[in-house]
């Protein structure tokens, strides 16, 4: 009997990835079980890794081993080795899926430093470093969809490095991301060997827009709450179909290139008044990925409704965005702010994790010195 996740993939063409990773999950059979249930990939970010390392002692032995091997090791190197170990183990568990899907799924994502979000060359160098260190064909390096990220995306795709474009909030920037991907393919002598997803963040849009709608305090504004993120994602999917079925991509399609699938991220509902699987059920469609945190994955498996929904209610997404504009709310300004905040939040988690590892390094070094 197929699980709900298998049915979702087979009947609707959507892959479910897990938006979480830690040492226990990958080392003790949890991820293997989820893959058997139909999970087809893994995503991570600095916030997830900070939680994984801060909330457990699972990494302490590895930290001690690394310090024993190099007493001068710094916090950044510790961070890279610990995350690389997790990603390598997860990638190995997903390798059979990567191969059986001919590179369609089976990926694990690892992020470049968020402090490089405005540094194109630094992003490229960091991505090359991670690609070499992880040394797995099913790694995706996460690159933020900032202005500086666009040339980095193009260069990395041209070099055959898989890219998960992250922190994507606006439709105009999404169109730029797709074009950067296509330009990269055109420069790649083997475009069939590289893959990419574009991670469109969903719930954060509603959280920001709903606050503006609340201040308007009108029935019309109230009727738009919880609708703008889904409307934006549905229009993004239509742009995806237009671009990758059109002339811009045709030359690369003939060369064997893959489409750059939209990936729905930030899919846990932040408002308790909303259905807990709202951003899963409303965004089901062909050639898409939805990455779910564990609680949302459990909720969808327990009571999620499974049907293709991205094609439903044609015209409604446009009407919702037109109504938002008519209400005087500037969605472009909100998504620009969300991009800045997204980079800042990941940088904060990244810095907090490095500070935590520095404390652990100091404690272990002091323990050895006194022992």
CATH (domain of 12): 3.20.20.70
Distance CA 34, CA 222 (A): 38
Range of the domain at 46: 4-205+228-312+343-370
Q: Give CA torsion, residues 364, 354, 49, 287, to 10 deg.
A: -150
Phi-psi region at 328: left, alpha or beta (left = phi > 0; alpha = psi -120 to 50): left
Q: Examine residue 332 and state whether it is found in any structural domain, yes or no.
A: no
Domain count, the chain: 1
Domain-located, residue 28? yes
Which pLDDT value is given to residue 369? 62
Q: Do residues 257 and 185 make contact, with C-beta atoms less than 8 angstroms apart?
A: yes
Cβ 89 vs Cβ 24: under 8 Å: no
Please report which confidence band the pLDDT of residue 39 belongs to, taking 50, 70 and 90 as the band edges: very high
Position 222 in a domain: no
Select which of 51, 64, 132, 142 is catalytic.
142
Average pLDDT over residues 346-371: 84
pLDDT digit string, tens, across residues 134-189: 999 999 999 999 999 999 999 999 999 999 999 999 999 999 999 999 999 999 99
Examine residue 214 and state whether it is found in any structural domain, yes or no: no
Contacts of residue 288, defined as CB under 8 A and 6 or more positions apart, other chains included, come to 13, 14, 15, 237, 261, 262, 263, 264, 310
Rounded to an integer, the average pLDDT of 208-218 is: 94
Q: 142 catalytic, yes or no? A: yes
pLDDT of residue 80: 92
Contact in structure between 84 and 44 (CB atoms under 8 Å): no
Residue 370: per-residue pLDDT: 67
Q: What is the pTM of this model?
A: 0.95
Cα 225 to Cα 94: distance, rounded to the nearest angstrom: 38
Query: Looking at the domain assignment, is residue 187 inside a domain?
Result: yes
Backbone angles phi, psi at 81, to 5 degrees: -65, -40
pLDDT tens-digit readout, 242-253: 999 999 999 999
Could you tell me the CA-to-CA distances from 351 to 43, 255, 306 in Å, in that order? 20, 42, 40
pLDDT in tens, 214-267: 999 899 999 999 999 999 999 999 999 999 999 999 999 999 999 999 999 999
First to last CA, the chain: 57
Angstrom distances, CA of residue 93 to CA of 21, 23, 36, 98, 136: 13, 13, 11, 10, 11
Least confident interval from 67-71, 154-158, 191-195, 276-280: 67-71
The mean pLDDT value for 30-51 works out to 94
Residue 212 within any structural domain of the chain? no
Region 327-348: what's the mean pLDDT? 97
Question: What is the helix (H) or strand (E) element at residue 331, kind and residue range?
Answer: helix 331-370
139: part of which helix (H) or strand (E)? strand 139-144
């Amino acid at each position: 009997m197929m699980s709900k996740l298998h049915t979702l993939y087979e009947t609707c063409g959507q892959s479910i990835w897990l938006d979480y990773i830690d040492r226990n999950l990958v080392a003790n059979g949890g991820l293997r079980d989820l893959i058997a249930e139909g999970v087809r990939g893994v995503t991570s970010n600095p916030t997830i890794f900070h939680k994984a390392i801060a909330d457990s002692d699972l990494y302490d032995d590895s930290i001690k081993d690394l310090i024993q091997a190099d007493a001068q090791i710094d916090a950044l190197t510790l961070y890279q080795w610990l995350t690389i170990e997790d990603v390598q183990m997860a990638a190995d568990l997903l390798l059979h899926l990567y191969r059986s899907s001919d590179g369609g799924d089976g990926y694990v994502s690892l992020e470049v430093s968020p402090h490089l979000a405005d540094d194109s060359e630094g992003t490229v160098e960091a991505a090359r470093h991670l690609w070499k260190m992880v040394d797995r064909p099913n790694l995706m390096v996460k690159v933020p969809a900032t202005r500086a990220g666009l040339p980095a995306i193009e260069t990395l795709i041209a070099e055959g490095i898989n890219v998960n474009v992250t922190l994507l909030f606006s439709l105009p920037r999404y169109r730029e991301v797709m074009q950067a991907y296509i330009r990269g393919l055109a420069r790649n002598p083997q475009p069939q060997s590289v893959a990419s997803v574009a991670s469109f963040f969903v719930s954060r849009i509603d959280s920001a827009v709903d606050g503006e709608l609340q201040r308007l305090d009108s029935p019309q504004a109230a009727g738009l709450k919880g609708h703008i993120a889904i409307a934006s994602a549905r229009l993004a999917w239509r742009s995806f179909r237009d671009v990758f079925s059109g002339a811009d991509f045709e030359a690369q399609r003939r060369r064997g290139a893959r489409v750059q699938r939209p990936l729905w991220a930030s899919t846990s509902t932040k408002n308790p008044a909303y259905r807990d699987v709202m951003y899963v059920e409303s965004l089901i469609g062909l050639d898409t990925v939805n990455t779910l945190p564990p609680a949302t994955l459990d909720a969808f498996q327990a009571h999620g409704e499974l049907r293709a929904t991205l094609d439903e209610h044609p015209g409604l997404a446009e009407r919702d965005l037109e109504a938002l504009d008519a209400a005087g709310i500037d969605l472009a300004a909100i998504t620009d702010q969300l991009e800045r905040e997204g980079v800042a939040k990941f940088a904060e988690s990244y810095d907090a994790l490095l500070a935590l590892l520095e404390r652990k390094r100091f404690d272990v070094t002091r323990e050895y010195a006194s022992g």
